[in-house]
Structure 1
Amino acid sequence: MPTSGIPGSRALARVNRSSLCRARVRLGEEVLETAFRQVAGPLAVPETPGAWWRGLRLLALDGTQFDVPDSVGNGDTFDGPSTGGTPFGFPQVRAAVLAEIGTRAVLDASLSGYRDGERRLAYPLASSTGPGGLVIADRGFWSVEFVHAFTTSGAHLLAGLQSNHLGTTQAELPDGSRQSVMRPGKGCPPPAAAKARACRRRRPTASSPSPRTTRPCTWARSYWTPSSTRRTS
């Protein structure tokens, strides 16, 4: 456990790890969340390499899973992987995390059970973005509702697209990209549509790392909020 710089750290280093774990349980989740909220936030300064693109702060949104101790309480609360209805392995917590690319500082995070989707967990993180930020996310997050949540905060959005989420092309642009309109799925509330600029980029694959043999990957950058015609780039 890192204790360098903490007053009384020498005494703390001699404390049994299991004792610290039990003390953390007694604190409760509210205290730990409060501590997280007090320290979470961006750290990059204008001179930080890799943290900016054309004046925009680069932010990454991604999902992950954490194993938690195999207890009845954790199993009931979080669930976990199973096969044929039979659980195996540890219960798992699913998380969506918003982080600053240049410093890897975490700005916000949302936690839930194994069966909950990353996209739903990502929606609350939009409140931790704003004007001057460029949020980069993979194609698993994309939806009209997702675009609406993040662009209405004032942030720019660069997200991967699945092949069936390319929308309706409105215009082909000279640089090879296109302006598209994407509409929400059935049963979803407004916004009615999201306008975006879609382009294709090449990326290496596991079997073809050479730039000459890469396969196309479709991406989209939001240019308008769904509720207005305001250009956001």
Structure 2
Amino acid sequence: MTLRVQILKDKFNSYLGLPFKELLPASVIEQALSELKIRYYQRLFDPIVTLWAFLAQVLDTDKSCHNAVSKVIAYLAGQGVEIPSTDTSAYCQARSRLPEKFLEKLFSQVGQSLEEKLGTEHLWCGRNVKVIDGSTVSMPDTVENQKAYPQPKTQKAGCGFPIAKIGVIFSLATGAAVALCIDVLNTHDIKLARNLYSFLKPNDVLVGDRAFCAYADMFTIKNINCDAVFRKHQSRTTAMRKGKIVGDCDKLVTWYKPKTCSKGLNKDEFNALPPSITVREIYYYIVIPGFRTQQVSLITTLLDEGTYSTLAIVGLYGQRWDVELDLRHIKTTLGMDVLRCKTPSMVRKEIYVYLLAYNLLRSLMWSAGTTYSTPPLRLSLQGTRHHLNNFIPELLAAISTKRLKIYRTLLEWH
């Protein structure tokens, strides 16, 4: 058993361990297991082998457990060891034994490790920018999934699928996902956001759409030494004559505390809000020939117009679209829009593994871009996955001295 496990670790390390060796080597996984005090028996599918097989499974176009087990059998073939059964039960049981906290920790750790590679040239006005957005994922129609993540109430029973809502914070500079929240479908985006603010670091700038623009949230974000740039909620009207003018289409305005406690806040949180806050409002127009002219109003806590110019903030909000593409990549390119697991616990684990795989691909794109002087965000995530999957046979077959040369070729041809 020990020999087979070591063979599998060596095989996985040949293609997953090499591209991602700085972010997810076996030592990092073992350290996470140790910190969480996770004990396990010496099985063929120990946590390390199971995790790497799980990652390979979500990165492949064929995401079946049978395909994952088939790869394990192929890796052991010709090694002079006992070949495991083609039955998937052992692998599926091993996946279910992976603690959710373990996968969450690895996902967060890889995202933060990539953040640590940022230099001052990658920052916006000397600040690290995070972008927040929400989306949904569907899953198999099982009793357990329906109970935990009910289908839309507008659908008749038996005519829909369970749907979970996710909130994700991405790094604008690296494209990596740095925080995740999972809840039921009817959860408002702002509730997801309030569960994610704790992942922000001092001096971060958070960018989001109008769903996150609320009085309490502007105060909360500023109170943790961060700043926000949100599109103004449609319920607030733009009064052109009010406020202190600081530039063209740019002014400082005073927001007053709501008279009643809004949903999502308890009385203590509502009572802790100040009577008023000063925010900056920037409004501009988007003119596209053939379309109706659209006015956009931004609300931000970045009050210093000397440091943060009007054009800089407008340009920053324009980059929020990148998050829409990031979510599309995770759901469509990697295939997370329709999950495969049949229990709520495994659904959450599957989401964490998808985001972990996404972050590992982002790390590969970062290495390729910084090595060959190409902006990493201009590289194709789908292309990166194709290159990685196509280079796997060569990485597995090569001797150690030749493997590094193949890896450098993988980076060069992004």
Give the TM-score of the pair, scaled to structure 1.
0.78
Which residue in the other structure is 1:227 paired with? none
SS of equivalent residue, structure 1 residue 108: strand
State the distance in 2 between where 1:62 and 1:194 align. Answer: 24
CA drift of 1:22 comes to 4.2
Which residue in the other structure is 1:219 paired with? 298
CA RMSD of aligned residues (A): 3.2
State the distance in 1 between where 2:141 and 2:253 align. Answer: 47
SS of equivalent residue, structure 1 residue 53: coil
Structure 1 pair 172/166, CA: closer, same or farther in 2 (3 Å)?
Answer: farther
Runs of 5+ consecutive residues of structure 1 not aligned to the other structure:
225-231
Structure 1 pair 134/87, CA: closer, same or farther in 2 (3 Å)?
Answer: farther
Which residue in the other structure is 1:155 paired with? 226
Indicate whether 1:194 and 2:273 are aligned: no
**Would you say how many aligned residue pairs link Structure 1 and Structure 2?**
218
Q: Larger RCO: Structure 1 or Structure 2 (Cα < 8 Å, ≥ 6 residues apart)?
A: 2
Q: Indicate if the aligned counterparts of 1:69 and 1:91 stay in contact, CA closer than 8 A.
A: yes
Which residue in the other structure is 1:182 paired with? 255
CA drift of 1:14 comes to 2.7
Indicate whether 1:170 and 2:243 are aligned: yes
CA drift of 1:45 comes to 1.5
Kindly provide the CA deviation profile for residues 77-97 of structure 1, in whole angstroms up to 9, marking residues without a partner as x.
111224265464321111111
Kindly provide the CA deviation profile for residues 137-175 of structure 1, in whole angstroms up to 9, marking residues without a partner as x.
000111111112211111121000123325873323332
Structure 1 pair 87/116, CA: closer, same or farther in 2 (3 Å)?
Answer: farther
Which residue in the other structure is 1:14 paired with? 72
Give the TM-score of the pair, scaled to structure 2.
0.46
Amino acid of the structure 1 residue aligned with 2:299? A
Indicate whether 1:5 and 2:63 are aligned: no
Which residue in the other structure is 2:109 paired with? 38
Structure 1 pair 56/214, CA: closer, same or farther in 2 (3 Å)?
Answer: farther
CA drift of 1:61 comes to 0.7
Structure 1 pair 70/46, CA: closer, same or farther in 2 (3 Å)?
Answer: same
CA drift of 1:54 comes to 1.2
Pick aligned residue for 2:141 from 62, 67, 70: 70
Over the matched positions of the two proteins, sequence identity in percent amounts to 19
CA drift of 1:56 comes to 1.2
Q: Indicate if the aligned counterparts of 1:44 and 1:102 stay in contact, CA closer than 8 A.
A: no
Deviates more, 1:28-37 or 1:98-107: 28-37
CA drift of 1:18 comes to 5.7
State the distance in 1 between where 2:298 and 2:177 align. Answer: 24
Which residue in the other structure is 2:212 paired with? 141
Which residue in the other structure is 2:192 paired with? 121
Q: Indicate if the aligned counterparts of 1:144 and 1:193 stay in contact, CA closer than 8 A.
A: no
> Larger strand proportion, structure 1 or 2?
1
Is the radius of gyration larger for structure 1 or structure 2?
2
SS of equivalent residue, structure 2 residue 128: strand
Q: Indicate if the aligned counterparts of 1:93 and 1:113 stay in contact, CA closer than 8 A.
A: yes
Q: Indicate if the aligned counterparts of 2:120 and 2:126 stay in contact, CA closer than 8 A.
A: no
Kindly provide the CA deviation profile for residues 187-219 of structure 1, in whole angstroms up to 9, marking residues without a partner as x.
241313332100113346xxx4x5996411111
Deviates more, 1:34-43 or 1:54-63: 34-43
CA drift of 1:62 comes to 0.6
Amino acid of the structure 2 residue aligned with 1:193? S
State the distance in 2 between where 1:105 and 1:211 align. Answer: 36
SS of equivalent residue, structure 1 residue 33: helix
> Larger helix proportion, structure 1 or 2?
2
Amino acid of the structure 2 residue aligned with 1:27? L
